[in-house]
Structure 1
């Protein structure tokens, strides 16, 4: 039943933390949304056609003007002339028709000769030869027979005059062969070149020059010339496919017409024409055209930004409500500060965003959380800043400001390094200002602007001011976060390590032996923690305070017993145990009273864990006849719950053991270190922290190397040298 109650308690705690985290993320999303809402909201104007514009209006984004592009494409297509292609097969067709005419004439003669032979067989007397008889047949009759012989697609002979056809019929077969070959050559030569309709007469005139050297009678040449002229026809025709392809190419070569981002659509006082009104509508600046797309896009962007941070915290040890709250609070302050500055009136320049102390957010997050989340947060500031400072052009990004914010944040993180003194933060602010100055110079030159001008000087002034104010604000806000959230930052640790701190002065003046012991433990634990990736600075500062409880009864601890008797010799082992064990709980209580950080208190309380006071336990066993319970001689604990506390516990025992040795050698030191770690491991003192066996081995090596440097062997000077020194 008790287990179920514990489970329910854990569940309720988890549920409450989950609800709080969800609420924080929702609150952060609302801050981001309302900070950028006005910058992405499309500007709606109540404009009337053919009225005068009350102000200059620019395009909020890059827009494709499809209507103008289409008109330009149509104009380009209309400028393309029809494409005419050369049909080479036309020449062959005309040659085939000429050849068909000459073959038809020969067939007509053969047919007539056959008829004459049939007639001659019936008539005994033949006074004329067949050729003469054939010549006496009228040309008209021959043409009629030719019309019946030639196919329908051959029509050229019908255009030839009867006189020309008569000349062909009157010619001998040999002359017709010459005429045919000459005609084929002439037509082929002429029609092998482009002949358009306007050029047909000029092409036909070339027939005479082609036939002037043909060795035939003038009558036959004249008839042949007439036939060849009729055979010459235009061989260039309209090519529909080629024409459409040429027009499509012309259309494709037309560049799309865009309305550029920031392009002036209408100037103040200019009349709003139908074309200007159309462009305003295309840019979404008219009241009759409303859209929710910018708001949906902003919501998606915010969701992505918050998701990246959520999964980062979820997958690391910083997945705590405290760190999430700090992160969201710092980001919200920075973004609200951006928004407030963006609302300031702009005097002769629009880039007032350069004055925003943006590095403040990155510096605070690095100091209070870690470097990686600070780098990731720089992206949020960069993206949000590029939207908030978009110059009043809805839905656009100011990439110059985005680059400036990102560079400024990264510079602050890099220059801050691991040394987090207040003076170092101020130095970081100055260096960030210098980097901002250099970056502004680069941006001004990239825009091809004058490097020496009133506007450029204002940019440079703002960049330097931004860096310095970032440092001042970071220093001013740090105490509020440290106090409000109980954060133990590196800067806070460095402050606590100051020897002038009241508690450290108390240890130094009241227990100088304990102070020296604490400093030695600090050196050992710092190096060991750094070797395993733990917080070395926390280990060092925790070591300074881990034995603060000894200041209550300093003379009961051996390191403070200088030239005096050991008081434990006069009291019982049980009382000695009580005094020794109480220094851990007394120290934790003193640290709480002085409002010391919880991590320091835990180290003081846990550095001995529940280890056994072996010396007094064995002494009690020897002095008592009854059985002595081992549990009565153990520290109250708890056991070490962090790597730092575990390492300090080991270093504390090792330093005390090595210091008690008369002549520590490397072999003895190494043996003592290994035995102490082994005893604590077997005693279960590391069960509640996540230190690994490999890390324990690394800790042992680090402690050995550090102790070797402290207890190194010295040169033994000869006696003669000593005597000479004395004599001198």
Structure 2
């Protein structure tokens, strides 16, 4: 598996093959969702009988029905007629002027008689008075009003004319204050006639007043084309567009498909589905959005090329597996259970990707899976998307990411229980939002399915993790935590066979972890690597000083050259032992690289003092030098712990001087050339090591009894 992985990774270094992998993911997505967006083929003919109930897949406006509805609304608007109040005023003024003119004629004649211009004994004839009155009136008035009416006016006394005028004006004003359309003019005149009929005027004057009143009454309500058009336009604008709503039943089963129904089916796009490519274009664009987001994520991923390609392959496998599983669950719709989608283990991919790769990518994948779920589980729902399932998958995946904190296997199952509880809450909320009619049995089944989904997500995650970790050489947090278990066979071997080395390794682990966390490196990896870094000492434990308890130092009986070989071998022996136990590469590298190519100074100077000329390279570790920050820091912590342990009651100043000297020596020896540790980070590492060592080797309070014992021994 590892060999194939290496070959594939080498191919992915080429941009063409990386793009090809994303194209493969796109093809998988397209194939999995193709059947869900493919328009249904319907055998529909005009005036045939529908063999099934057909609903509209989209919301579309029925423009023809909207136009008909607008026309109907326009026709229902009545013509607008307005009351012209100025007509009433004009007619009243006209009648008033006629009466006033008659009064003036009488006054003029009386004045002429007083002035002697006319014989008082001989009153002017009616014809003379009529002539004078007509001279004061307009031609139209004299033409429309009979002479008999005018004669009755000039024949009456002024007091009677004034009374007749007031009565006539009052009646005219009362009648014309109301709307008088053309067809109601005669009725209005009759009303006025009734008003004046019972007055105390003499008969001739009363008849004249009635005639003038009838003459005054004319239509005062007229058609307003502008107002009518405005009302009709407003009525048209108030008409809501007629729409065929998504999910609306267009034709029931066994119903005749008439022309109107056929037209609605055409509007909904159900007649030309063989030529409609819109759903496929939409699916392609959606997949392109997914792939672009994923490509940019991996493009900006801050990892080395090898690790980046491993993550890309691992993600692709998990993603394809999840899509395949989702598709299999979607095919279970044949069971005719509406909420079968809730059985899908939606949190599985999120849990796996968070554990093996990154939490940010897990969130991105959860969103993509939710959208894919909307499409894949659209069977039996209106439209192309099942939003309820999408919300469920999104909430379930995010719950898995949120609840999985400490990545132990036991915590995965706990996270699965939390996800199951979240699933139940989300499902119940969706069911209640639908406001449908559910039996208690339906509620129970739905809740059980959601709970099973959470448990299934955890079980699949736990089951797949070992295969993915082993197959891709992934050293996850969970795997590191498992390797740090004291019951691990190799750690038990160190403890039982080299207890001094075990204690030394634990101390180095504490130092390395705190230093790594200070600069943002993987503290847990450094801790676990430190546990195993000296596993090679178990081959010859008595040759290492921390294990020489109450025994003679065997190096005193052998030449320095042999001692050198034994000491140097522990790094390569440890790497071989770890490889034999299939330990992760990162742990093997720490064991192999923690000494780098440093010089074994003690035995080198010992052989030099004996007068033998030797090459310094023979007394150096074979390396390689530290390739990662974690390997370099474990090496520093290893040397620092051993050096400080050899000091008697070290002070903080002595500890800091020693730590910085060891780091400086390694820096000058070019031991950090192949890892990316900076001088600023080395300074932070030194401070962290000093802080931890001061906590370990702090001064202890001397109790009185201890002081007395020292005095006795002295």
Give yes or no for TM over 0.5: yes
What runs of 5+ residues in structure 1 fail to find an aligned partner?
A: 1-11, 118-124
Which residue matches 2:521?
534
- Structure-1 separation of matches of 2:283 and 2:141: 80
- Structure-1 separation of matches of 2:674 and 2:147: 126
- Structure-2 separation of matches of 1:220 and 1:686: 133
- Structure-2 separation of matches of 1:649 and 1:185: 121
* Distance change >3 Å, CA 677–CA 253, structure 1 → 2: farther
Say whether 1:714 aligns with 2:700.
yes
Quote the offset at 1:22 in angstroms. Answer: 0.6
* Distance change >3 Å, CA 639–CA 185, structure 1 → 2: farther
Which residue matches 2:213?
228
Say whether 1:424 aligns with 2:411.
yes
Quote the offset at 1:705 in angstroms. Answer: 4.0
Q: Secondary structure at the match of 1:194?
A: coil
Which residue matches 2:86?
89
Which runs of structure 2 are paired with 1:391-540 in the superposition (5 Å)?
391-393=379-381, 395-421=383-409, 423-449=410-436, 452-540=439-527
Quote the offset at 1:84 in angstroms. Answer: 2.6
Which residue matches 2:128?
137
Q: Bigger CA drift: 169-178 or 462-471?
A: 169-178
The answer (yes or no) to whether the contact 1:613–1:634 under 8 Å persists in 2 is yes
- Structure-2 separation of matches of 1:288 and 1:502: 66
The answer (yes or no) to whether the contact 2:338–2:380 under 8 Å persists in 1 is no
Say whether 1:63 aligns with 2:93.
no
The answer (yes or no) to whether the contact 1:139–1:162 under 8 Å persists in 2 is yes
The answer (yes or no) to whether the contact 2:247–2:382 under 8 Å persists in 1 is no
Which residue matches 1:311?
296
The answer (yes or no) to whether the contact 2:103–2:161 under 8 Å persists in 1 is no
Quote the offset at 1:618 in angstroms. Answer: 5.3
- Structure-1 separation of matches of 2:246 and 2:125: 93
Matched residue pairs, number? 696
* Distance change >3 Å, CA 141–CA 90, structure 1 → 2: closer
Q: Bigger CA drift: 91-100 or 33-42?
A: 91-100
Q: Bigger CA drift: 207-216 or 187-196?
A: 207-216
Which residue matches 1:649?
635
Say whether 1:658 aligns with 2:644.
yes
Quote the offset at 1:550 in angstroms. Answer: 3.1
Q: Bigger CA drift: 31-40 or 546-555?
A: 546-555
- Structure-2 separation of matches of 1:302 and 1:635: 53
The normalised TM-score by structure 2 is 0.85
The answer (yes or no) to whether the contact 1:69–1:257 under 8 Å persists in 2 is yes
The answer (yes or no) to whether the contact 2:649–2:697 under 8 Å persists in 1 is no
The answer (yes or no) to whether the contact 2:193–2:213 under 8 Å persists in 1 is no
Which runs of structure 2 are paired with 1:3-152 in the superposition (5 Å)?
16-95=13-92, 97-98=94-95, 128=119, 136-137=127-128, 139=130, 143=134, 149=138
Say whether 1:274 aligns with 2:259.
yes
The answer (yes or no) to whether the contact 1:53–1:271 under 8 Å persists in 2 is yes
Quote the offset at 1:624 in angstroms. Answer: 5.3
The answer (yes or no) to whether the contact 1:358–1:405 under 8 Å persists in 2 is yes
Which residue matches 2:339?
351
* Distance change >3 Å, CA 438–CA 217, structure 1 → 2: same
The answer (yes or no) to whether the contact 2:77–2:235 under 8 Å persists in 1 is yes
- Structure-2 separation of matches of 1:212 and 1:696: 123
What runs of 5+ residues in structure 2 fail to find an aligned partner?
A: 1-8
Quote the offset at 1:591 in angstroms. Answer: 3.1
- Structure-1 separation of matches of 2:672 and 2:155: 132
The answer (yes or no) to whether the contact 1:517–1:655 under 8 Å persists in 2 is yes
Which residue matches 2:317?
329
Quote the offset at 1:418 in angstroms. Answer: 2.0
The normalised TM-score by structure 1 is 0.83
Cα deviations by residue, 1:172-228 (Å, 9 ceiling, x for unpaired): 788777766765565445433433345434443454577689997664454343223
- Structure-1 separation of matches of 2:125 and 2:667: 138
* Distance change >3 Å, CA 180–CA 629, structure 1 → 2: farther
Q: Secondary structure at the match of 1:166?
A: helix
Q: Bigger CA drift: 456-465 or 34-43?
A: 456-465
Which residue matches 1:602?
589
The answer (yes or no) to whether the contact 1:39–1:395 under 8 Å persists in 2 is no
Quote the offset at 1:19 in angstroms. Answer: 1.4
* Distance change >3 Å, CA 110–CA 696, structure 1 → 2: farther
Q: Bigger CA drift: 500-509 or 646-655?
A: 500-509
- Structure-1 separation of matches of 2:256 and 2:229: 41
